[in-house]
Structure 1
Amino acid sequence: MPHYPLFLWAVIRKPSAIFGTVCEPLSVLNVLILRDRHHPLDIYDDVDIYARLRFKREGILPKRRFLSPNLQVCIALCYFATGSMQNLVGDSIQIHKSTVCRVVRRVSLALCRHMKNYICMPSINGQNANRQKFHSIVGFPHVLGCIDGTQIKIKAPTVDENAFVNRKGFHSLNTQVICDPNVCFLNCVVRWPGSKHDSFILRRSNIYDKFDSGEYSGILLGDSAYPLKKWLMTLYLNPSTQVEEKYNSAHTKTRVTVERSIGVLKRRWSCLHRGIAMEPERAAKVTGACIVLHNLAMLWKMPVDDLVGQEIEEVPQDEQYRQLQDPEVQEGATVRRFITQNHFT
């Protein structure tokens, strides 16, 4: 991933372009104020202010308090990190719930505008580095990334509610992600209802067309929910030889990277783990924003020791992709057989 300037501070410097204006009624809550010892409104009480200035405090102060861009970022980060309801976030920093809601929406949109800059497939040199690092795990060759889907719990939508109920029985977005060996995300698709199958989402994504056309020189590793393709290697469902078992073992130990990446993502931004109490479109923006922030945190080498953990979502048998019904499966099987015989014998 290329090195970028400190994005969050860059955003803070451009409030009108990125965030617009957010106001908070002063009368709603008492707020923490850093006082200027030379400012008359800070050093005098209400009686002295009127005696000296001939106006009461409320006649001098504006009716609404403007939230600075850096405070807006902090409010959004607090919500992303804790996963608390927005009224609890508001109480913790003495901001009204409705303001928290608006700020989270604005910051999420601002971050999502930068998704192409921070969530992207690597350059040629980056692809070579990924292949080498994945190979160093247990010797699986030509791997550019690992792919998986993860369910993000959301508020029950008012339109097409049943479509968002996943196989585990709750409303969600099925989010497709591809990760590199450094626990960064190279690609994400955040728009499909929880009932949609992983293979359905993949086939309708831009990354499918790019790999299918040969734009990238390498392969992805996926679980049995995905189709076997010449560029997407899956497990042998019923390994019959020792080399097939060795292939499966290497595949599993390499692909666990994506499960670890999802685990770190959801532990860093707990709103993704606890659920986002928003309609699908807004929940998708929050999810995308959290993935951007995750990549930025990895780029800036934020610690992950306290976040390490794997979220392994077992795929029920009836969700496994029916490989034999895919006319292109033979080409993928040939590539898998070649890898098995030349690297795991």
Structure 2
Amino acid sequence: MSDGFYDLSGEVVRGCVGALDGIAFKVRKPSQDDSMNPMAYWNRKGFFAIVCQAICDADTRFRWFTATAQGSCHDSTAWQITELASALKVGGMRHGYWIAADDAYGNSDYLLCPYPGRRLAIPEDSFNYFQSKCRITIERAFGILVARWQIFLVL
């Protein structure tokens, strides 16, 4: 799987096996019967939602997807409560392989996020550029999903 990301990066970045991000899908306000705290589904963008986390490959194919977090949950928290994140914390990932994520997640042994800030030294800025070449695939994958299944746009 890393060959696809290697190609996307102009043969610069090695070891990326996936791109991770979250998306909030609109839902109707849960009833008291469905949730002890319906307002936990209210997100910062002003609607009720379920936060989904996904990993895609270089061809924008979803390789892993979960929809377990309430709308008020931050992407990093939504990721940390998944079984996959727990498994990777314990077992790690094969040396030299990693998943691209945005700065909401934070670096780990298996997640590689961009350097923070705008005015970076050339090496860090270059890293961010090539890391984003990998990371952008998950945003494209979500765009394709929403465009194909228009139901995700409205309730």
Q: Same fold (TM over 0.5)?
A: yes
Hey, what does 1:76 align to over in structure 2?
none
> Matches of 1:273 and 1:198 in 2, distance apart?
20
Hey, what does 2:86 align to over in structure 1?
209
Hey, what does 2:100 align to over in structure 1?
221
Hey, what does 2:76 align to over in structure 1?
199
Q: CA deviation at 1:245?
A: 0.3
Aligned alpha-carbon RMSD (Å): 1.4
Hey, what does 1:265 align to over in structure 2?
145
Q: In structure 2, what residue type is equivalent to 1:156? A: K
More strand by share: 2
> Matches of 1:273 and 1:177 in 2, distance apart?
18
Hey, what does 1:100 align to over in structure 2?
none
What is the TM-score with the length of structure 1 in the denominator?
0.41
Q: CA deviation at 1:215?
A: 5.3
CA offsets per residue over residues 25-62 of structure 1, 9 Å max, x none?
xxxxxxxxxxxxxxxxxxxxxxxxxxxxxxxxxxxxxx
SS state at 1:213 partner: helix
Q: In structure 2, what residue type is equivalent to 1:178? A: I
Hey, what does 2:59 align to over in structure 1?
182
CA offsets per residue over residues 189-214 of structure 1, 9 Å max, x none?
11211100111111111111222233
Q: In structure 2, what residue type is equivalent to 1:154? A: V
1:135 and 2:15 matched: no
What is the TM-score with the length of structure 2 in the denominator?
0.88
Q: In structure 2, what residue type is equivalent to 1:202? A: W
Equivalent of residue 173 in structure 1, options 27, 30, 50 = 50
Aligned length: 146
Q: 5+ unaligned residues in a row in structure 1: which ranges?
A: 1-129, 276-345
Bigger RCO (CA 8 Å, 6+ sep)? 2
CA offsets per residue over residues 90-113 of structure 1, 9 Å max, x none?
xxxxxxxxxxxxxxxxxxxxxxxx
Contact 2:68-2:78 within 8 A present in 1 as well: no
Q: CA deviation at 1:271?
A: 0.9
* Bigger Rg, which one: 1
More helix by share: 1
Q: 5+ unaligned residues in a row in structure 2: which ranges?
A: none
Contact 1:210-1:216 within 8 A present in 2 as well: no
SS state at 1:157 partner: coil
